Structure 1
Amino acid sequence: MEIKGKVHEVGEIQQISETFKKRDLVVEYAENPQYPEYLKFEALQDKTGLLDSFKVGDEVEVFFNLRGRPWTDKAGKTAYFNSMVIWRVNALSTAAAAPNTPPMAQPVDVSTTSREEDDLPF
């Protein structure tokens, strides 16, 4: 599955155990811009590094697998959990800061310039 949206949050790497780590990515998905959805994805193990270059505001395309699993508590009640596990992320555009451009020169009123100073032939 895949989805396109804007990066809302990139989580830190969480070392769950000696052999397991994960990292969250929250993407703003705006199928209807009036009511955006905030979807939490998980990057697991070696895929956590995929998120290193992304920043809040970047437009991305996230490729993921949808996983679900049951969990039964001590009382015998079963709950179900879903997770969206990232396997690839493509940057569509980045939230770049405005470039550092020098300020524009102040406008000059050319109508008050004397014709004698003008060396152009026309």
Structure 2
Amino acid sequence: MNFEISGSLIVKEDTVDITSSFKKREFVIEVINERNQDWNDFIKFQLTQDKCGLLDSYNLGDNIKVGFNLRGRKWEKDGKVNYFTNLEAWRIDIVSDGQLAEPQAPPPFAETDIPPAEPKDDLPF
């Protein structure tokens, strides 16, 4: 399941080595509640493995757009079952002036962009 959300980066943790083969990094964004700004949402994400470096170029206070997957896990120990939900970020983009910086599309073709037809007719059909 892929989702996207935008907000202000307010917490940026260091990368933590969980095991010799697994590392993660957590961060939090503040999302403005459009109905009541006294009740903003604080959303914690995690980056894993090679994605941990995605956060390096962002600073606290930056407005970012996060692409993430919603992941759920089941864990059993000593007869007890626990369920965990993680928001696993896989993409981070900067947002400027409340808008995501969109790449500029090339201008449409004009008639003058089309080369003239050759005067000789050498088509095989």
Structure 1 distance, partners of 2:89, 2:77, is 28
Pick one of 40, 44, 52 that aligns with 2:44.
Answer: 40
Where does structure 2 lack aligned partners over 5 or more consecutive residues? Answer: 98-125
Structure 2 distance, partners of 1:81, 1:17, is 19
How much does 1:55 deviate? 1.1
**For residues 62-113 of structure 1, what are the alpha-carbon distances to aligned partners after superposition, in whole Å with 9 as ceiling and x for unaligned?**
0000000111221x1211100000110001139xxxxxxxxxxxxxxxxxxx
- Whether the 8 Å CA contact 1:61–1:92 is kept in 2: the answer is yes
Task: List structure 1 segments (4+ residues) > 3 angstroms apart after TM superposition.
Answer: none
Aligned to 1:55: 59
What is the RMSD computed on CA atoms of the aligned residues?
A: 1.4
1:1-122 alignment to 2 at 5 Å?
Answer: 1-32=3-34, 33-74=37-78, 76-93=79-96
State the TM-score, normalizing by the size of structure 2. 0.70
Query: How many pairs were matched up?
Result: 93
State the TM-score, normalizing by the size of structure 1. 0.72
Q: What percent identity do the matched residue pairs reach?
A: 40
- Whether the 8 Å CA contact 1:5–1:29 is kept in 2: the answer is yes
> Higher Cα Rg: structure 1 or 2?
1
